[in-house]
Amino acid sequence: MGTTASQLAKDSLSEYQELTFLTKQEILLAHRRFTELLDRDERNHPNPRVPMEVILTLPELKSNPFKTRICQVFSTSEDKDGSLTFEDFLDLLSAFSDSATLEIKSHYAFRIFDFDDDGTLDCGDLEKLVNCLTGETEDTRLSSEEMRQLISNILDESDIDKDGTVNLSEFQHVISRSPDFVSSFKIVL
């Protein structure tokens, strides 16, 4: 009917259904929204890659303070520039979907919060995280004294093996205590 670029082939659709947490309607909707982001000439490309700036124009991501980290985590490009193919986009939606398990969500949340990509959340990561949470304006930022105290409290509570950083298991342990995490870690197209 059409090329695989502009129309999803039936077997890829069922494959995506099997490998992600998305339903058929969600995959088709994602495909439609993704092709809207492409230029006309890129649409016939077999595996188009959308640069990060274009992805960040999506209304679901536009105001999110973690938008650049999200793109970087799910991107499979070698240049680490945050550009996404359609499959990366599906990965993103699958991790943020309704039926994704707590484990997948906490894994990706950990990677999003790990600003320096070293596999643990150390003081620098935590500081950047808190700054993202509290916003950019001056009156909502925490003072450096408060920040220091906050980070030391966080490490006291969550660093079980006392190595000064929060690794994935410790992060997942904290997350498992909060029942709201699964419902708040959601993005729906």
Partner 1 sequence: MAQNVNFDLSHPAVEAGLESPADENVVHDSFSQLIAEQSQNEGLSDAIELQHLQGNPDDDEGRDNVAYLSPSENRGWRIGSDEAAEEDNETQTDSLLKDRWSSATLKILSSMPSRTIGRSRGAIISQYYNRTTELRRRTQKRASIKDFSRSARPSIRGYGVEVDTTDSAEKKQERLVKNLQDLSAVDRMRMLKEMPLNLSEKKDLRRLTLEMTKRTRSSSNLPCCSYLKFQIILALRHSWYSCLSFLHSLQLWQMPLKRVGGRFGSGVLSYFLFLKTLLFFNVFLFLVLGSFLVFPQAVYLPELPESRTPFTGLELLTGGGYFSNTLLYYGYYSNHTLPNCPKNNSTRPECDSRSLSYNMPLAYFFTIGLSFFITCIILVYSMSKSFGQSFRIDKSNGMLAMKVFCSWDFKVIKRSSVKLLSENICTQLKELLGDTHHRLVRNTILDKLIKLLIHGLSWTLCLGATAGCVAGIYCFSDYMHKKQESSENDSEDPGLLNEASLLALPVLVSFINLMLPILFQLTAWMEKYNSPSLRTFVSLSRNLILKVSVLGVLCFHWLKRVAGSANDDKTFKCWESFVGQDLYRFLVIDFIFSLLDTLFGELLWRLFSDKVLKRNRRPGFDIAKNVLDLIYGQTLAWLGLLFTPLLPAVQILKLLLLFYIKMSSVMMNCQAPSRPYRVSQMTTIFITLLCFPSFLGSSVCVTYTMWRLPSSGSCGPFRGNKTMIQAGKQRIAELVDENRSLSFLADAHTYLVENPLFLFVGAAIFLIVIYFQSQVVDGQRKIIALLQEQIENEGEDKKFLITRLQSVHERKRTPARNLTSQDSGC
Q: Tell me the number of residues near partner 1 by CB under 8 A.
A: 83
Interaction between residue 13 and partner 1 (CB under 8 A):
no
Closest CB 73 distance from partner 1, rounded Å: 10
Closest CB 44 distance from partner 1, rounded Å: 21
Print burial letters for 20-46: b (CB count within 10 Å at least 16), e (below 16): bbbeeebbeebbeebbebbeeeeeeee
Q: Site map for partner 1, 32-51, x if CB under 8 A?
A: --------------------
Q: Site map for partner 1, 77-96, x if CB under 8 A?
A: ----------xx-xx---xx
Out of 30, 34, 69, 108, which residue is the one contacting partner 1 (CB under 8 A)? 108
Q: Residue 78 or residue 180: which is nearer to partner 1 going by CB?
A: 180
Interaction between residue 174 and partner 1 (CB under 8 A):
yes
Which residues lie closer than 8 Å to 2 by C-beta, 6 or more apart?
Answer: none
Q: Residue 38 or residue 132: which is nearer to partner 1 going by CB?
A: 132
104 in Cβ contact with 95 (< 8 Å): yes
DSSP 119: S
Query: Assign residue 80 a region: left if phi > 0, alpha if psi is -120 to 50, beta otherwise?
Result: left
Closest CB 131 distance from partner 1, rounded Å: 10
Q: Which of 95, 109, 84 is nearest to 20 (CA)?
A: 95
62 φ/ψ angles, rounded to the nearest 5 degrees? -60, -40
Out of 4, 6, 24, 44, which residue is the one contacting partner 1 (CB under 8 A)? 24
